[in-house]
Amino acid sequence: MGGGDQKNFLIATILSVAVVLVWQFFFVDPEELGRQQAEQQRAEQAQEQIAPAPTGAAGTAPTLGATPAQARETALEGAVRAPIDTPNLKGSISLKGGRIDDLSLKAYRKTLDPSSPNVTLLSPTGADGAFYAVYGWIPTGGVAAPGPATDWMVESGETLSPDSPLTLVWDNGEGLIFRRVISVDDKFMFSITQSVENTTGAEVSLAPYGIVARHGEPETTRLITIHEGGVAVFDGVLVDDDLGYGDIRDRDVSPTEGVPAETYQAAENGWLGFTDKYWLTAMAPKPGQGFTGVFKASQTTSGEIFQADMRLPVMTVPAGQSASVSTDLFAGAKEWETVRDYEADLNIGGFTEAMNWGTFFFLTKPMFKVLHFLYLNIGNMGWAILALTLIVKTCLFPLAYKSFVSMSRMKKLQPEMEKLKERAGDDKQKLQQEMMALYKKEKVNPASGCVPILLQIPIFFSLYKVISISLELRQAPFVLWIKDLSAPDPTSVLNLFGLLPLDPPEPGSMLAIVSLGVLPIILGVTMWMQQKLNPAPTDPMQQKIFAWMPWIFMFMLGTFASGLVIYWCFNNILTFIQQFIIMRSQGVEVDFFGNVKKSFRRKKPQEGGGAVVKPAVAAKPANDNPGKGKSRRQRKKTKGAAVDASNPGGAEGAAAPAKKPGSDTNDGAADGGSSDGGASGGDSGGGGGGGGD
């Protein structure tokens, strides 16, 4: 593989794989920088009690407080509850604040064990990882209004289900009666209607709000390709790049909120909340309803609280009349059909953006739809991944063909380029000029192989992204030992892939890095096979890079999801086949097995156990003890030799006397080294009676 060939291959490998993957392992997360210092500064502003809105600041929702940590079951018992039971959800609503704070997903379990608990999405305050939605009214003029700690009563309904809504009521004792009607469908969407009845003799003004609160930063994948944290769409514009938990924490302190916060405005449509890799909890006003969105982080003595606030405009309620407002709350799995249907049926603008399409959304979306179509028709996500990879490689074949053809042409020019290097010597300018003249003469563009590769990078990155975000991979089996495509290969070389009665290391431990499974090893081998389609580079530095690259990526991908590793393995195999066929079609010699043998071939040690060979010396006259230093058998064979036996490797350019009859001088012995008996394909010294023992 020549210089231009090497550069193209390096670009293809490093840009399409390393840029995506190395960053995820060695990228220093800016969210961690300065965290302790920032938390210490904000701790001075901590509020253990619920902080009321600043006086006169209509439209400002409360900053929530925390309660001491306790077991989840204990936290659930701390308030009267109304149960939730639907085909997909199970949980309860706390009558203290009317919080939706207990929710599990019936169709999803924590582990592959059928008896394992369901995935818990929402938890009450006080529990580890408290996560909930709460609604209320922001009063003006000193009116008492319901908030996060209000004790509601059930007016109608017992168990919240698709056929049975739940109505909560609270009387402030001052002539205002508040009601909250909560309904839910058979999937993951709640509808919350808040109303106020004014029985006083004067009009009142209040502003409804909704809050999704999360206590503490949850454990995330920390993959740069997957966004986890705050997410929102305001009037069709997606906002998520600057809404990671660390980004929210690092916002400037808002003068109205009193804590780090960022405020957004939506004129007609939108939604906001918090997203995980597979789950989403988000609020959305009805279409046409403007609102203010706020993301903020507050520090309490019990921990940090992240909030997503949905604040609706102030409503004026005349005496003797009522007013109401309805909003939606999604709390569930990011199933493609479900999210897509909600966007269309409920007219929630940009709701499918919750799928986290990424920068190349124009490629990721169609690829995701194709993968989903294949999954629905094949019935197995593993085979669907292989099918999608094959389709993408087929569509990109023209680009790959152009790239490999260019590389093959460059390879044919390598003999000429080597001659140019010899003639030019250290004159790099002359070498460059002659190389450009050679390219022009042969009509070869060295950059033509790079352009197709660069065009393919966004496509393969998008395919990688699609596989990363697909919920269908979670706990999805493939074949043989692969029972969960979203988890790393469960086998381990440390227990001989299950032959030894030892458990593999726990994920995240130090040993997990070297606990390679079958799939990562296959990945390393397939990358190594791609390299062996070409001879090893002559440049020592490039040779080292290429020698280590497959095995570095093997360890890097060892802890990645099996579905991703399967994709990379199959992609490597298809690339190997494409490159082999194209190179052969261009008349390029492909000595794959020869290159493989060379990679295992070691240099033979020098005589004497690898001792350094002494510099060559001039030959002595033939009558000057030619047998000195040799055995009797060697003295017989080399009788009349021209080179002293103390120089077993010979020397190129060494002086030698005229040959005697029967002698056979071997001028090339120095290039080949010596073997036992002092010969390697001929007499090592260049004389004697034959070609060695």
What is the structure's pLDDT at 39? 40
CA distance 674 to 650: 9
pLDDT band at 381 (very low <50, low <70, confident <90, very high): very high
Tokens of 240: 């998520």
- The full 3-state SS of 142-190, as one line of letters, equals CCCCCCCCCECEEEECCCEECCECEEEEEECCCCEEEEEEEEECCCCEE
Q: Which residues contact 465 (CB under 8 A, 6 or more apart)?
A: 225, 357, 358, 360, 364
pLDDT over 80 (residue 137): yes
Most confident stretch, 273-282, 547-556, 580-589, 620-629? 273-282
**Chain centroid offset of residue 396 CA:** 23
CA distance 456 to 448: 13
CA distance 489 to 502: 16
Per-residue model confidence as pLDDT tens digits over 47-58? 333 333 333 334
Determine the average pLDDT of the residues in 443-468: 76
- Of 226-240, 243-257, 392-406, 640-654, the poorest mean pLDDT is in 640-654
pLDDT band at 537 (very low <50, low <70, confident <90, very high): low
Q: Specify the 3-state DSSP secondary structure of 470.
A: coil
What is the structure's pLDDT at 449? 62
What is the structure's pLDDT at 427? 83
- Dihedral pair phi/psi, residue 126, rounded to 5°: 100, -30
> Between residues 128 and 400, which one has the greater pLDDT?
128
> Between residues 279 and 40, which one has the greater pLDDT?
279
In DSSP terms, which residues pair with 137 in a beta bridge? 208
What is the structure's pLDDT at 538? 61
Per-residue model confidence as pLDDT tens digits over 489-532? 888 888 788 777 777 777 667 777 778 889 999 999 998 888 88
**Chain centroid offset of residue 114 CA:** 28
Determine the average pLDDT of the residues in 295-303: 89
In DSSP terms, which residues pair with 103 in a beta bridge? 91, 122
Q: Provide the percentage of residues in the chain whose pLDDT is more than 70.
A: 75
Tokens of 161: 């289900």
pLDDT over 90 (residue 334): yes
pLDDT band at 242 (very low <50, low <70, confident <90, very high): confident
Beta strands in 286-400 (DSSP E): 291-300, 303-311, 315-317, 322-333
pLDDT over 50 (residue 29): no
DSSP string for residues in 494-518? GGTTTTSS-PPPPTTSSHHHH---H
What is the structure's pLDDT at 98? 95
pLDDT over 60 (residue 217): yes
Q: What is the dihedral of CA 581, 583, 584, 585, to 10 degrees?
A: 80
pLDDT over 60 (residue 318): yes
pTM of the model: 0.74
Per-residue model confidence as pLDDT tens digits over 166-188? 999 999 999 999 999 999 999 99
In DSSP terms, which residues pair with 129 in a beta bridge? none
- Of 167-171, 270-274, 305-309, 432-436, the poorest mean pLDDT is in 432-436
What is the structure's pLDDT at 168? 97
What is the structure's pLDDT at 166? 97
Q: What is the DSSP letter of 534?
A: S
With beta carbons less than 8 A apart as the criterion, state whether 206 and 314 touch. Answer: yes
CA distance 183 to 167: 9
What is the structure's pLDDT at 494? 82
CA distance 668 to 650: 8
Question: Which of 15, 6, 9, 19 is closest to 542 using CA atoms?
Answer: 6
Determine the average pLDDT of the residues in 549-568: 86
Determine the average pLDDT of the residues in 573-594: 82
pLDDT over 60 (residue 292): yes
Q: Specify the 3-state DSSP secondary structure of 377.
A: helix
Most confident stretch, 32-41, 438-447, 594-603, 621-630? 438-447
What is the structure's pLDDT at 52? 36
- Of 336-350, 598-612, 637-651, the poorest mean pLDDT is in 637-651
Question: Which of 271, 285, 294 is closest to 325 using CA atoms?
Answer: 285
With beta carbons less than 8 A apart as the criterion, state whether 531 and 546 touch. Answer: yes
pLDDT band at 536 (very low <50, low <70, confident <90, very high): low
DSSP string for residues in 431-461? HHHHHHHHHHHHT--TTTTHHHHHHHHHHHH
What is the structure's pLDDT at 184? 97
As a whole number, the mean pLDDT across the chain is 78
In DSSP terms, which residues pair with 55 in a beta bridge? none
Q: Specify the 3-state DSSP secondary structure of 100.
A: strand
Per-residue model confidence as pLDDT tens digits over 645-688? 444 444 344 344 444 444 444 343 334 333 333 333 333 333 33
pLDDT band at 447 (very low <50, low <70, confident <90, very high): low
> Between residues 154 and 467, which one has the greater pLDDT?
154
Specify the length of the chain in residues.
693
pLDDT over 80 (residue 592): no
- Dihedral pair phi/psi, residue 608, rounded to 5°: 90, 25
**Token match 């966007």: residue?**
343
With beta carbons less than 8 A apart as the criterion, state whether 270 and 349 touch. Answer: yes
pLDDT over 50 (residue 40): no
pLDDT over 70 (residue 196): yes
The Cβ of residue 320 has, within 10 Å, a number of other Cβ atoms equal to 11
Tokens of 254: 């808002």
Q: What is the dihedral of CA 571, 572, 575, 580, to 10 degrees?
A: -150
Q: Is 126 left (phi over 0), alpha (psi -120 to 50) or beta?
A: left
DSSP string for residues in 563-615? HHHHHHHHHHHHHHHHHHHHHHHTT----HHHHHHHHH--PPPPTTTSPPPPP
Q: Specify the 3-state DSSP secondary structure of 124.
A: coil
Question: Which of 561, 559, 556, 548 is closest to 27 using CA atoms?
Answer: 556
N- to C-terminal Cα separation, the chain: 37
